[in-house]
Structure formats: C-alpha cells, structure tokens
Amino acid sequence: MMRLQTSTSLIAFIFTAACGSGGTERSRIQGSNFGGGAISGENNVAPESGEASVGGHLFTLKEAQDLSPLVMDYKESSTKAQVATQDATQNARRDFIGETLDAMMALEPHRPGRDFTITVTADPTPNASALNQSVVVNRGIIDFASNLSLAMVLCHEVAHSTRNHSSRAEAQMNDYENKNKTKSDTLDSTLSKLVAANYDKTKKIFSHKKEDYIKVKPVWDDFWNGFVAFQKRFESEADVVGGRICANSGFTADEVEEGFTSLFEKFGGGTVAKSIDDKEYPDIELADIGELLHKIYASDSHPTDAERAEQMERIKPAFKQGATKTIAERWKKSFPGKSGLTLLPYHLTSGQVRIHHQSPLDSVMIRRTQSRIGE
Ligand SMILES: [Zn+2]
C-alpha cells in the first residue's frame, strides 16, 4: 500500500534543512555570554548510537524530569542552511520573537544559551524550523496558531537547536549508514535505476509510475524504518525539552499542554494517506527528485500525534513553572498582531497545507541520493 504523506505534524514541529540565514538579522542571545562551558556531563542521556533503542522513542516521566542539560554546548552540523528570506512586513514580529528567545536563553537553567538568527518568512504554510542556530518561522504559523501554541512551537524548535539535534543527527546517520552498508547500497542502486528509467534529463520530466514505487518500497523501508527511529526520538526530546524551556520561562504546565495539544486537535491528524497515481512531474531538476521520493515514501520521522499527546500528558509534571513569569506574561499579552488565544477557524485541506517535511536527516539522505543518482 503506497502512502503519500502530506502532513505528519501540521504544526510543523519540524526541523528542516530548508531554513536559512539570508536576509535575517542576528538575534543576540544573551545567555550565550555565560559561555565557559558551565554545563558538564549529561545526566541520563542515552548513548548517541543507542538512543532510539532504549525504551523506544518516547519518554517516561522520569526521563523527562532527569534530562539534562536543556541547553548543550553548541555544536554546529555540517548541513548548510538554505536561504530563507525575511518578510520585511514581519520585522516587528521577528524582533519580538528574537527578544523573547533572548530572554529565555538568558535564564540560568538555559546556560550556555544560544545565538539564534530568526527569520520570519512570507510563506503562508504553517511551519517553523530550526537548523543549528537558525530559526525560521513562516508567517503562516504566526497567523494560524494561538499565541500560546506559537510559543510552544518555538520552544520545540528551539529545543532542536539547544540539544544539537542537527549535528547529533548527522553523527547518528553516519553511524547507521556504516552499520547498514548493504541496505544502503541496495537502496542507492535501486533508486538510481528507478530514476534512470523514469527521468528525461533533456526535458526535465520525471514520470512517476506507481508500480515502480511499489516494487522499491520494501527496499526503501528496509533502510529507512531503522533510520527514522533516531529522528522520532529527537522529536520526542524536542517536546520534552521545549516544554521545559517554556515552563522555565513562566508558562504553566497546563499552558504547555494546552499549547501543544490544541495544535494536535485542531490541525494534527497525523499522516494523511493517499494513493499514488501515475503522474508526470514536469520541470523537475534531478536534484529535486530526492526530496520528491521522500514525500512519496514518507517514512514517518515524527511520533504520531496520539503518541505525542499521550507523552505530553505523562510528562506534564516535568514542566515546573519557573520563578520568573515575566517572559510568559509579556508574550501572552503583547505578541504583535495577535489578538488573543483563540484559534482561527481555518479549514485546511491537505492541499492547502503543504508541509515541508524535511529534516537534517532527510537532507543528508537526499544529498547522498543526489550524488549517486544518474551522475
Ligand atoms: Zn521537531
């Protein structure tokens, strides 16, 4: 059964390689001034290569409470961010987000902080992403979510950065590939044949044939199912760490939960499965086919919405409201352009919501696919 997944997590709890630094201004995170590597040791952090296999990809309450540090010493991944353009009409929002994240990162539990670059794009897709220290927020998610939910989305994205998910993902990816060379090579050669048979380089038309995809699917799954387990663990971790960062910043556990779950309830719904029809993709560059294949095969990189909601309930006691409530109070009262916490009655179809479902892991795989496909 072929499935086309158009939105895993609508709310874009996604860290993507498609975020960038172009057209952005630097948001100074004061917390980084503490520097000096005050954080030493990681309590209860599973070994890099074994994270996914220890207790599955979800967190117990104890794991959520014990996870430390919330903010690691910064380590950049080699994945390069693509350029995302700042929407000049959104500068006030961008600055407010930047100031808020500055204040959050300056809190003691968040040492050594982060130096974020914030970009608010004109993209109407409700999405946000973080790669290394670059946070990209689409205008769509700001317009779309309540400001409470938006705070949680940002905390989640920030957590991807503070836990160095981009660089850790790369390390895990390499480790996994090294241990699964045969599967990896088989997948590469199978995909190369698929593309070679269906891509007209001159006309730049990719004719996608359902029966071909069905044949390749088991090979794809054989490699990817083991691989996405890491990614799911990172997503769970970002929910845990993001929730704790928001709580430290003055949001109550109820607000953290509400911010997350209202997104799932309103806009989640998990995987949208569709059958694939034979179709031609005109004007497609060879380089884009890797991404297309990811969309078609859609190995779930996120836990299901139900898993995340259950986890949120389970780990709620880990969200202890910080003594300083000013950051949360200010956010709730004064986020520019937000009239309140009420969600707009959007009726989104999968066609309208085009989630850019791409993570650093995906991008590494895509690069790898590109480097071998048809070249
Ligand atoms: Zn995420």
Instruction: Report the number of distinct structural domains present in the chain.
Output: 1
Q: What is the pLDDT of residue 84?
A: 87
Contact 134, 19 (CB under 8 A): yes
Q: Which of 53-57, 62-66, 218-222, 340-344 has the highest mean pLDDT?
A: 62-66
For ligand 1, the distance from its centroid to the CA atom of residue 195, given in whole angstroms, is: 30
Which of the two residues, 218 and 285, has the higher pLDDT score?
218
- Tell me whether residue 184 is in a domain: yes
C-alpha of residue 37 to centroid of ligand 1, in Å: 25
**Quick check: is 345 in a domain?**
yes
Question: Token pair for residue 2?
Answer: 């072929």
Answer yes or no: is 37 within a domain: yes
More confident residue, 296 or 365: 296
Q: How many angstroms separate the CA atoms of 97 and 338, rounded?
A: 13
Cα 148 from chain centre: 19
Residue 10 included in any domain: no
pLDDT band (50, 70, 90) for residue 358: very low
Q: Quote the pLDDT of residue 63.
A: 95
**For position 269, what pLDDT does the model report?**
43
**pLDDT value of position 44:** 34
CA 200 to centroid of ligand 1, rounded, Å = 35
CA 225 – ligand 1 centroid, Å: 18
Q: Is the pTM of this model over 0.75?
A: no
Residues of the domain holding 90 = 25-372
Quick: pLDDT tens for 241-277: 999 999 999 999 999 999 988 877 665 544 433 445 5
Q: pLDDT value at position 33?
A: 20
Can you give the pLDDT at residue 276?
Answer: 55
Least confident window among 38-52, 110-124, 273-287: 38-52
User: From ligand 1's centre to the CA of 155, what distance in Å?
Assistant: 10
Q: Six-digit token pair at 77?
A: 């991944």
Q: For residue 15, how far is its CA from the centre of ligand 1 (angstroms)?
A: 5
Distance 292 CA to ligand 1 centre (A): 20
Q: Give the residue with greater pLDDT, 101 vs 369.
A: 101
Distance 251 CA to ligand 1 centre (A): 20
Distance CA 39, CA 61 (A): 23
Instruction: Let me know if residue 14 belongs to a domain.
Output: no
Query: Looking at the domain assignment, is residue 6 inside a domain?
Result: no
- pLDDT at position 112: 97
Count CA atoms closer than 13 A to 282's CA, side-chain side: 0
In a domain? residue 18 = no
Calculate how far, in angstroms, residue 209's C-alpha sits from the geometric centre of ligand 1. Answer: 31
Contact 100, 84 (CB under 8 A): no
Ligand 1 centre to CA of 197 (Å) is 35
Per-chain mean pLDDT for the chain? 72
Per-residue pLDDT, averaged over 304-331, amounts to 90
Ligand 1 centre distance from Cα of residue 283 (Å): 31
Please check whether residue 16 lies inside any domain of the structure.
no
